[in-house]
Amino acid sequence: MQEPTVSLGQIAILIDGGYFLKRVRKELGPEHTSTPEQLAKTVRRLCFNHIARLTGNRGRFWQQHLYRAFFYDAEPYTGVAHHPIANRQIEFAKSALAQDRQALFEQLRKERKLALRLGKVNRDHDWTLAARLTKAALKTRQQLAPLQGLATQLQQAVDPTQPVQLQLSTEQAQQLLAAHDFWQSLQAGDVALGLRQKGVDMRIAIDIASLTLKKQVSTIVLVAGDSDFVPAAKLARREGMEFILDPLWQKVNDDLFEHIDALQSGLKRPAREDHVPDAVSASPCPKRLPPHPQAPPARWRQSAMPATAT
């Protein structure tokens, strides 16, 4: 049988890369997510399963139903900053995170019918304390209140070499020690530079609108977990598109069902005792699509068919 040379794809799969990586690393574990090749294979399997469930095509030509898969992420931050706790320069371009992400992008660029849509990461503000430590940091403001007595003595002091004395109760001394211990216990990982991803959500919305208004596909599958896509989903559905959400087992708000045509998972969730019911298996909504057995093909690229330009 001759392999088809023209794609008749009517399905587009849009993947929020940052969300995808966070979810699969948490749920699938390092055995499926440690290398760029493993992550690309996971993307491939996700796309195959969505196509198979929507079309029933599980053969080697399943990609003829795929218009294109889009992977959205941001170029890693490449600036330099001085770490306030480690007291050293941080070259973000040389960090393991940046190098791993660039390696993943290079691998995904080799995949057939997959387009990278990359935003950027900007430095919005300076180093900030981790959210889990904010309450404890604010508490030290009250713990340091007894030191205000020193201000009066310093104002009255004539000789700058004259010693000052501070009388504290046992409780006040304990509070000062607690504040001291808190700040001394901070580690390098307790602060983060104020980086913000730019342009990713905009690119997702633009592509949904473009695919819809140009009638390039009939079905859009979005792999994401927040509600930022709702305006674009409304446009797509008003124009006759089938809009399917894959939250990668993350629970979604009930009101999101109003804006999608189906809830479908492209990956089989590993069975673990600590798992809570996920958005697909626990949903009573009739928009949940029935599962199909997973049998992804051995290869994503097919040499007889040229790669689609991105």
Looking at residue 277, what is its pLDDT?
52
Q: Residue 212: how many CB atoms within 10 A of its CB? A: 22
CB-facing half-sphere around the CA of 252: CA atoms within 13 A: 31
Q: Which amino acid is at 208?
A: I
Looking at residue 8, what is its pLDDT?
64
Q: Residue 14: enclosing H or E segment and its boundaries?
A: strand 11-16
Looking at residue 279, what is its pLDDT?
52
C-alpha–C-alpha distance, residues 153 and 166, integer Å: 9
**303 vs 102, 110, 111, 307, CA distance in Å?**
25, 12, 11, 9
Positions in the chain whose pLDDT score sits under 50: 1-7, 276, 281-285, 292-310
Looking at residue 13, what is its pLDDT?
97
pTM: 0.77
DSSP state of 288: B
Looking at residue 150, what is its pLDDT?
75
Q: Which domains does the chain have, with CATH numbers?
A: 8-154+164-304 (3.40.50.1010)
